[in-house]
Amino acid sequence: MRNQSFMFLAVIAGLSTVLMLSGCPKKVETAKGTATVQEEKVAPPAETVEPGPAPGPTMEETPISREAEAPSMEKGLGDAFFDYDQYTIREDARGALEMSARWLNGNPTVRVKIEGHCDERGTNEYNLALGERRAQAAKRFLAALGVDENRMSTISYGEERPSCSDMTEGCYAKNRRVHFTVQ
Amino acid sequence: MIRDGFFRIPRLAWAVVLLLAGSGVGPSEGADVFLGVTRSEASRIPLGLLHVVTPSDLARHSSEIRTVLEGDLRRSQVFRMVHPPFYPELAGGGEPSADLVKKAGRQDLQAAVWISLMAKGEDLALEGRVYDGKTGQMVMGKRYLGEAKHLRAIVHRFSDEIVFQYTGERGVAGTRVVFSSSLTGSKELYLMDYDGYNVRKITNDRGLNLSPTWSPDGNRISYTSYRGGTPAIYTLDMATGRLWKMVGFPGLNISPSWAPSGGELAFASTLDGPTQIYRVDREGRELRRLTVDRSDNLSPAWSPSGAEIAFTSNRGGGPQIYMMNADGTNVRRLTFSGGYNTSPAWSPKGTAIAYACRVDGRLRICAISPDGAKLAQLTAGPGEDESPSWSPDGKHLIFSSTRSSRGDLFMMNADGTEVERLTFSGAKNNSPSWSPK
């Protein structure tokens, strides 16, 4: 590429010299024909940036790491895990949710947000619906164990906030979860 | 069989079509024409760039002009780029003579392009001409004035004009793509030119901004944002910068899609329990529920006429593509092959619906005719592909893929050929939406 442009310049320089030496170049017939050159101003379409962070509740600035999720575990609100593309409560998830129900029933003033999460393998929008199903399933399970529904809200993050970022089955299994945050 | 100028299906897609035909699942004939008009290499018009004239202080722009123009015209599927020899007569800066163009024409050049770039005050003036190789006569001439930083946009404009001259339909080189990216750690929306250049961030709330989509006039972008705490649909007016919450029911409000008239927005919400599809008018009022079902229904995609909506539903178990009339009546299932089919995108000419299909455990891009008779798998290889979006001329699809990274955007012809990587950020880039013009 670069070599070509050098050659190009050299040819141009050489030719200009020839033209200068030979005086005025002969006028040549140009090929304009009947078409005319139309003029047009070019400016890309207007684009603006949205006006910045919203007032009121905003999201965490960094992706949630497993460390960041630890506090709710100490409170006795452990994550419950799901099978791929499923929102039915597994046997091991029953245990986790029963523990959470005991803790919530023992701390009746606490309100929790139940987050539904998915692994990254499905499509983004479908995973938002699936995450909502998981959060709702956990909420119904807890309500059946006596936790007042008014203390629980749900939100789906789909695959957008993984707790583990490797592309392995072990990681995917950790990301298919409901997670509690105390409000 | 395959006619000149018609869609030529790639070998892989044929394999799938034949496989499906053999197993009695799907299409058997006609799949070669339903995806559009990707021309075979031989039927493309041979076009060459004769010369880019610049004064010496602008010489640095000449290779960029050449690269942008040739890239645009190659992608147009109308032209085949040929490289004419260098004609010393052009070195002086003058326009080509009819004899010179005819000489080039004898070297298999049906169309010859000549460009001259000049400074005009602070700005640049680019004059582009197209000559007919047979007669040597100019068939089109344009002079563009614009800022130096918009040089790529100027060349794109000229490319689109050339495509228009030869086909009667403008090219898509001047279009843009909006997408969601994890580049900064959160998920923000970005715009880029159709060829992946000039990436710029358009949201700034450090939260989750997902599933952007254009209004049909290209003036608004609607998307799902968690900026108010819960997922709601916001609309950003590109000219004024006004951002407003358009749909914010309790729970999930996702997958916005503008009707072709621009008068209505379809979306999915958990307003009444499971995720259902609704529509509102352009101000977010006049709510109408379209799906009535106990399963999840989402990702509405309007037909170009506005009469029908394709969507994802798991009413039959796993997610599949369904169709309904725009008032919610006449629901019928479109996809039957495979257990996971999502994210429909209706082609601008109405002849195909692209979607993400799971084949042998991996997500791919598939396309199906609206009557379900013709089906093709368009992508293969490593990684997973999802979120197809059509170019406004229906000749290309953009999609996200993990084939070479955590998630980048790729462009391909509507028949799955000529896959080209567009982003290289190392972040998760997904949910691309191609601007309508």
Mean of the per-residue pLDDT values of chain B: 91
pLDDT-above-90 percentage for chain A: 56
A126 CB neighbours in chain B (<8 A) are: 296, 298-299, 312, 319, 342-343
Q: For residue B153, what is the enclosing H or E element?
A: helix B151-167
Residue with the larger pLDDT of the pair B131 and A67: B131
Residue A70, pLDDT > 90, answer: no
Which stretches of B17-60 are assigned E, i.e. beta strand?
Answer: 45-53
Residue B188, pLDDT > 80, answer: yes
Residue B11, pLDDT > 70, answer: no
8 Å CB contact between B427 and B181: yes
Residue B42 has what pLDDT? Answer: 76
Whether chain B has a CB inside 8 Å of the CB on A36: the answer is yes
Residue A8: exposed, middle, or buried by beta-carbon count in 10 A (0-12, 13-18, 19+)?
A: middle
B151-167 and B62-75 helices, crossing angle to 10°: 40
B431 CB neighbours in chain A (<8 A) are: 124
Average pLDDT score over residue span B67-78: 96
**Complete domains list, chain A, with CATH:** 81-166+173-182 (3.30.1330.60)
DSSP string, B339-405: S-EEEEEE-TTSS-EEEEEEETTEEEEEEE-TTS--EEE---SSS-EEEEEE-TTSSEEEEEE-SSS
Residue A4 has what pLDDT? Answer: 52
Tokens of A9: 């310049």
8 Å CB contact between B132 and B110: yes
Do A56 and B228 make contact, defined as CB atoms within 8 angstroms?
Answer: yes
Do A31 and B144 make contact, defined as CB atoms within 8 angstroms?
Answer: no
Residue B262, pLDDT > 70, answer: yes
**Residue B245 CB neighbour total at 10 angstroms:** 15
A124-144 and A91-106 helices, crossing angle to 10°: 60
**B123 - beta bridge partners?**
B120
Q: For residue B256, what is the enclosing H or E element?
A: strand B253-258
Residue B23, pLDDT > 60, answer: no
Residue B260 has what pLDDT? Answer: 98
Query: What is the predicted ipTM?
Result: 0.89
| Closest CA of chain A from B3, distance in Å | 34
Residue B382, pLDDT > 90, answer: yes
pLDDT band per the 50, 70, 90 thresholds, residue A52: low
Segment among A16-30, A92-106, B303-317 with least mean pLDDT: A16-30
**Complete domains list, chain B, with CATH:** 44-167 (3.40.50.10070), 176-434 (2.120.10.30)
Highest mean pLDDT of the ranges A37-46, A73-82, B238-247 = B238-247
Do B202 and A47 make contact, defined as CB atoms within 8 angstroms?
Answer: yes
Residue B8, pLDDT > 70, answer: no
Distance CA B58, CA B154 (A): 15
8 Å CB contact between B27 and B20: yes
For the segment B413-434, what is each residue's pLDDT rounded down to a tens digit?
999 999 999 999 889 999 999 9
Residue with the larger pLDDT of the pair B49 and A36: B49
Residue B271, pLDDT > 70, answer: yes
Distance CA B265, CA B282 (A): 6
- Chain A and chain B share a number of CB contacts under 8 A equal to 217
Residue A45 has what pLDDT? Answer: 79
Residues B148, B151, B157, CA angle at the centre, nearest 5°?
140
Residue with the larger pLDDT of the pair A53 and B344: B344
